[in-house]
Amino acid sequence: SALPAAHPLASGLTSSSPLVRALRGDRPERLPVWFMRQAGRSLPEYRALRVSTKMLDACLDPELSSEITLQPVRRHHVDAGIFFSDIVVPVKLAGVGVDIVPGRGPVLESPIRTAADVARLGALDPAALAPISEGVARTVAELGETPLIGFAGAPFTLAAYLVEGGPSKDHIRARTLMHSDPETWEALMTWAADTTGAFLRAQVLAGASAAQLFDSWVGSLSLADYTAHVAPWSARALSSVADLGVPRIHFGVGSGEVLAAMRDVGTDAVGVDWRIPLDEASRRLGGNTPVQGNIDPALLQAPWPVLEAHVRDVVERGKAAPAHVLNLGHGVNPDTDPDVLSRIVELAHGL
Ligand code: 1CP
């Protein structure tokens, strides 16, 4: 692979970690577990660090991004860190006016809807990614044998924000554009794939031992639209790290109809939300693909015996797949008691 020799995966530091082994289709003695959105608002130590710093400024401060990434690893003893950043960080670094508004999410200065809007989008200068590479390098230096997961937003999920101008429910404008003006759509998706791909590649080169592509809003698409108007660009984004040999995870929400198509764009493992049980997900994937998931985040607020029974059921059903990484079906809700997450890790490691 083209990884630098000192990279934790190339040097052997993380190559036998439970996470990397499971993503490569193995069943390590310890079931690996981490949580989407484990860094951030459920942790009082995160809220304390963030009081005077805006979200995107925190993402571009290597000392802060590294410290926030490490907080949940220290507290919960999870099997991986996920780099603290956001899917819109590369969009901002490419010069697009975007902010993360507290309580709302990413909001664009002006939405990208026309051929002229897309033509104005500039290429991401690799030098702009320096704060990301530095944040990752600082993080892996502290993590040792615990792998760091790098991530990026999939082109469709990014396009949903760019076209809508902010969070939306059904991503109607984006779904209209792919049909009403396919040429503009394809130009936008190509830009999004290359921009998000560069962000992902920078994290891997700087030391991430796995890469996850988040297509959070893929559930609003039909299989036909996914295949024709989205999959080629998700493949393009994932191909940005294909030569580096790190295991790849492709995650979506509401993805039951498109699971196999998401696998087919080129990934090692598929992340599954809480809507379909893992044995059914594995069946839809043909039985040969490692799966990640899929504790229902709503049950994090349920009484422990209820949650424990659910986690055990998820682990049992995960045995239908060749390998399993335990996770949530979507991100940690900010109201979650962090002790509950620690307790799930303890349970998983004792199984
Ligand atoms: O003020 C704050 O604390 C901001 C809240 C926050 C945080 C902590 C946002 C705004 N982003 C993040 C970090 C983040 N975002 C991480 C790293 C932390 C971790 O996972 O441990 C990651 C992986 C993301 C990725 C992300 N951002 C996704 C994909 C994952 C998912 O949850 O589906 C998406 C869709 C976003 C957009 C986004 N950023 C922030 C918010 C509130 C949102 C969602 C807005 C919406 O509902 O549309």
Q: Which CA distances in Å does 264 have to 222, 231, 259, 267, 345? A: 16, 9, 9, 7, 31
Using one digit for the tens of pLDDT, what is the confidence trace for 71-129? 999 999 999 999 999 999 999 999 999 999 999 999 999 999 999 999 999 999 999 99
- Which residue in 8, 79, 77, 20 sits closest to 249, CA to CA? 20
The residue range of the domain holding 155 is 18-350
**Ligand 1 pocket mutation pick from 87, 88, 161, 171 by most atoms within 8 angstroms of CB:** 87
Residues above pLDDT 90, as percent of the chain: 99
- Which residue in 29, 27, 30, 32 sits closest to 209, CA to CA? 32
**pTM recorded for the entire structure:** 0.97
On whether residue 30 sits in a domain, the answer given is: yes
Active site residue 117: no
How far is it, in rounded angstroms, from Cα 137 to Cα 115? 38
Rg of the chain over Cα atoms, rounded to whole angstroms, equals 19
Active site residue 37: yes
Q: Which CA distances in Å does 165 have to 71, 106, 133, 214, 319? A: 32, 8, 28, 19, 41
Residue 63 has pLDDT above 90, yes or no: yes
- Where does residue 75 rank: exposed (0-12), middle (13-18), buried (19+ CB within 10 A)? middle
Residue of 24, 27, 30, 41 marked catalytic? 41
**pLDDT band with cut points at 50, 70 and 90 for residue 28:** very high
On whether residue 259 sits in a domain, the answer given is: yes
CA atoms within 13 A on the CB side of 341: 28
pLDDT of residue 17: 98
CB 196 within 8 A of CB 153: yes
Amino acid at 161: Y
CB 249 within 8 A of CB 268: yes
Q: Read out DSSP for 49-106?
A: HHTTS-HHHHHT-HHHHHHHHHHHHHHH--S-EE-S--TTHHHHHTT--EEEETTTEE
pLDDT of residue 67: 97
Nearest Cα residue to atom 34 of ligand 1: 87
Vertex 230: Cα angle to 225 and 236 (nearest 5): 155
On whether residue 12 sits in a domain, the answer given is: no
Residue 179 has pLDDT above 90, yes or no: yes
Residues above pLDDT 70, as percent of the chain: 100
On whether residue 10 sits in a domain, the answer given is: no
Interval between CA 27 and ligand 1 midpoint (Å): 30
Active site residue 120: no
Q: Is 39 annotated as a binding residue?
A: yes
DSSP state of 120: T
Looking at every residue in the chain, the average pLDDT score rounds to: 97
**pLDDT band with cut points at 50, 70 and 90 for residue 1:** low
Ligand 1: residues with CB < 6 A are 36-41, 50, 55, 82, 84-87, 100, 102, 105-106, 151, 157, 167, 214, 216, 331
CA atoms within 13 A on the CB side of 174: 28
pLDDT of residue 311: 98
On whether residue 8 sits in a domain, the answer given is: no
Interval between CA 18 and ligand 1 midpoint (Å): 26
Interval between CA 297 and ligand 1 midpoint (Å): 15
- The alpha-helical segments, DSSP class H, found in the chain are 18-23, 44-50, 55-59, 62-76, 89-93, 115-119, 130-143, 155-164, 172-180, 182-206, 223-229, 231-238, 259-264, 278-284, 304-318, 338-350
Interval between CA 106 and ligand 1 midpoint (Å): 9
On whether residue 1 sits in a domain, the answer given is: no
Tally the domains of the chain.
Answer: 1
pLDDT of residue 55: 96
Nearest Cα residue to atom 35 of ligand 1: 216
> What is the token pair recorded at 148?
């760091």
On whether residue 106 sits in a domain, the answer given is: yes
Can you give the CATH number for the domain in which 182 is found?
A: 3.20.20.210
